[in-house]
Amino acid sequence: MSTLTKVLLVIVVVLIALLVALYFIGTKMQKKQALQKEQMDAMAQTVSMLVIDKKHMKIKESGLPPVVIQQTPKYLRWSKLPIVKAKIGPKVMTLACDESVFQLIPVKREVKAVVSGIYITGVKSARGGLETPVKKKGLFKRLLKK
CATH code where residue 66 lies = 2.40.50.660
Q: pLDDT above 90 covers what percent of the chain?
A: 53
Residue range(s) defining the domain that contains residue 48? 44-126
Query: H helices within the chain, ranges in order?
Result: 3-43, 66-71, 99-102, 139-145
Integer CA distances (angstroms), 89 to 50, 93, 131, in order: 9, 10, 24
Residue 19 falls inside a structural domain: yes
Percentage of the chain modeled with pLDDT above 70? 97
* Closest listed residue to residue 109, CA positions, set 91, 77, 136, 131: 131
On whether both 49 and 39 belong to a single domain, the answer is no
DSSP structural state of residue 74 = G
One domain, residues 32 and 70: no
Give the pLDDT band (50/70/90) at residue 74.
confident
Number of separate domains in the chain = 2
**136 lies in a domain?**
no
